[in-house]
Amino acid sequence: MIVAIGLLALGTVLFLVLSRRPRPRCGPELPSPDSTFFGGDTMYKDELLTGMLVRLGVPKDMANRAEAALAKTDFPFRHLRPGDSVTLAYRGLQLVSLTYHNDMVTSYGVAFDSTGAVATKSTKPVDTVRAVVHGLVKVSFWNSLLALGEKPWLAMSFTDILRYDVDFFTESNDGDSFQVIVDKLLVEGRFYRYGRVRAVHYRGKTDNTWGFFYVLPSGHWDYYNEKGQSLRKAILRSPLEFSKVTSHFGMRFHPIYRVYRQHAGVDYGAPSGTPVSAIADGSVTFAGWRGGYGNLVEVRHSGGLSSRYGHLSGFGPGVRSGRTVRQGQTVGYVGTTGDATGPHLHFEIRQAGKPVNPLKVIPPRAEPVPAKYMDEFKQVRDGYIAEIQQALASAVPDMLSTDSAAGR
């Protein structure tokens, strides 16, 4: 009996030891000749398509055939982005096709056969749905909107629309409420990107501000408050979003000519290549080289105002004499051309041809909704307000206040 128990115990130990021994590695299971399986990876930074395919094990000759086939389409060879993905399809051990996913909407396929390769472009349909996003501020407006699952773009668009009426750094407090109507673009039911922001509302201790998107019959669009006044100022305070003044308007000691002379503008220090924005709608009267200004863009605005942007390293897309520009459009890029000791923007504002101090110009509002279109604007406004009220009533009834509806 004792012997039997001992043999049983020994057998159990041997079984456990043998079962834990590593099994011989026989390599991956080979697919059957008629099955299809997929592999792939994402694009690395600064990687070329052919290099990526070879890295994934695609023979060099097939990678070259794929590139040649894609060259017959509008494939964006110069705009490949890290994170773009490639899917490889095999039948047995033979690569039969590959697909380059440019984004959720656009992809490029290459099919291989005995004669070569054929490339095609595919696009998926994009659906647009209108959403009402609303919430309460906790800690900051930015974090509160992102906490709802939204993207930074929506927060930036919201604050940009109301930037002249609400200071979100100093006037935003816990408990403030916000609502935004925005178009969301979906691909196969998944979020792709945002479309147009239709309306915004921010209510705090000192603010009750609305913004409504409205398009005039002429095609001009803007965001207006509940009274039909533009939320934009006619002139931006600065043509650079993040910069510092390095030289003020008035008499100064010139760093190159070493003499005191009148400085007709303001210099902003910024890295080379920083985008420079038009401060107001207008038409380009000059875009080219002009002596000490270096590369210069001059824009004529309404009310006898004009603006100049000097020492540019280059010009914005489509910026040339005779073209119109919209406020905020890139007219050039910070550089060191002309009489410049380092990268900066020389910025001037002229009134009736005479230089004025850009830092002392008080910007008026842009043009309001014309009186003849006010009835139509009010219908659009009231429709947006009704959408927001309906969303609030169905979600959080106590957030709805009749006195917040456009001040009525």
Helices (H), 93-151: 141-147
pTM: 0.64
Q: Which residue has the higher pLDDT, 80 or 315?
A: 315
| 404: pLDDT strictly greater than 60 | no
Closest CA to 390 of 127, 131, 138: 131
What gap in Å lies between CA 275 and CA 323, rounded to an integer? 18
> Residue for token digits 């696009």?
123
Closest CA to 281 of 398, 367, 344, 381: 367
- pLDDT per position as a tens digit, 185-206: 999 999 999 999 999 999 988 7
pLDDT at 36: 55
Burial of residue 394 (number of CB atoms within 10 Å: 0-12, 13-18, 19+): exposed
What gap in Å lies between CA 332 and CA 296, rounded to an integer? 9
Tokens of 306: 């004009």
In percent, how much of the chain has pLDDT > 70? Answer: 81
- pLDDT per position as a tens digit, 281-334: 899 999 999 988 999 999 999 888 899 999 999 999 999 999 999 888 999 999
> Residue for token digits 């398009």?
215
| 167: pLDDT strictly greater than 90 | no
- pLDDT per position as a tens digit, 238-293: 788 655 677 776 655 556 555 556 777 888 888 899 999 998 889 999 999 998 89
Burial of residue 139 (number of CB atoms within 10 Å: 0-12, 13-18, 19+): exposed
Lowest mean pLDDT among 24-38, 304-318, 345-359: 24-38
> Residue for token digits 């009750």?
208
CA 99 to chain centre: 26
Strand pairing class (190-203; 208-215): antiparallel
Helices (H), 250-402: 374-395
Q: Which residues of 337-355 are buried (b: 16+ CB within 10 A; e: fewer)?
A: bbbbeebbbbbbbbeeeeb
pLDDT at 396: 55
Q: Could you tell me the pLDDT band of residue 115, with boundaries at 50, 70 and 90?
A: confident
Distances (CA, A) of 259 to 46, 71, 255, 264, 290: 48, 58, 8, 15, 21
Report which DSSP code applies to 222: E
Ramachandran angles phi, psi of 395, nearest 5°: -105, -55
Ramachandran angles phi, psi of 336, nearest 5°: -135, 25
Cβ proximity of 347 and 296 under 8 Å: no
pLDDT at 23: 37
